[in-house]
Amino acid sequence: GVMEKLGLGPEVLLQENPRLIYARLTGFGQTGKYARSAGHDINYLALSGVLSKLGRKNENPYAPINLLADFAGGGVMCAMGIITALYERTKSGKGQVIDASMVKGVAYLSSFLWKSQNLGLWNRPRGENLLDSGAPFYETYKTADGKFMAVGAIEPQFYEQLIKGLGLDSDKLPSQLSFSDWPEMKKKFASIFAQKTQAEWCSIFDGTDACVTPVLSFDDVASHQHNKQRSSFIKNDQEETSPRPAPLLSRTPAVPSFERDPFIGEHTEEILLEYGFTKQEITELYSEKVIEVSKPKANL
């Protein structure tokens, strides 16, 4: 309802320009019991059902930072809605309003969980299934130097290479999918991974199909050989590291800016002046807290 209070709701603007695509990105959506309630990523995850699936055995569900609802279910889904509406407009010539709810977005993002319920992937309690830390071959393990390795050897041919790299004999081990043996196998794998450093394990598993990779910290990720070869990370003029835009387009790849990120409101006045607002109008918008204006201070 914020935009309606400002007289800038979709009904008003679409009358001015019927081709307009108006995206409304919210946590709970434009309608419903919680539509006007405050919330954060963890609340949207909870209401979508996804949070109930996240967590280890005998532990509370946990939210994985705020990537799932805010950025994936919210930002990415909203962007996809805009792209879809732009494509539809090439046929109809008309714009439309996009109701991008983070609850619905992250629920839709989790369609795989819903569609695979009858496959036996999720019929055990949280933290005891194939992909939620229940399996010894889909887990992270601590190394001798306090770092970690990520293991994702699901397919039997990959699992066999994992077992070989760990120095074990598969003939002397339980079946890979023997659920009752998973807890003991996790302990066995953990004790073996703890005997070597992350670098030593990389030297064993790099170049194999064991699906074993180092868990890289933000300090290490840009210098990893694979990421360097792919130019996956860039530095701006302040020597700050960040990911390069993805996915990579062959003909029109994104050209990243190497300047520092702008301060919130740094270019507000400049942009509004460019679009025909007067200084007085900008001052009024600022005083009514409709906009933010923040000029960087000179380094004297």
| Residues taking part in catalysis | 40, 70
Please write down the HEC assignment for all residues of 210-269: CCEEECCCCCCHHHCHHHHHHCCEEECCCCCEEECCCCCCCCCCCCCCCCCCCCCCCCHH
Task: Tell me how far apart the alpha carbons of residues 73 and 111 are, in angstroms, rounded to a whole number.
Answer: 12
SS3 23: strand
Task: Tell me how far apart the alpha carbons of residues 250 and 217 are, in angstroms, rounded to a whole number.
Answer: 29
| Single-letter amino acid code for the residue at 127 | G
Task: Tell me how far apart the alpha carbons of residues 210 and 167 are, in angstroms, rounded to a whole number.
Answer: 13
Task: Tell me how far apart the alpha carbons of residues 154 and 129 are, in angstroms, rounded to a whole number.
Answer: 12
Task: Tell me how far apart the alpha carbons of residues 277 and 174 are, in angstroms, rounded to a whole number.
Answer: 73
CA 18-34-108 angle, to 5 degrees, is 70
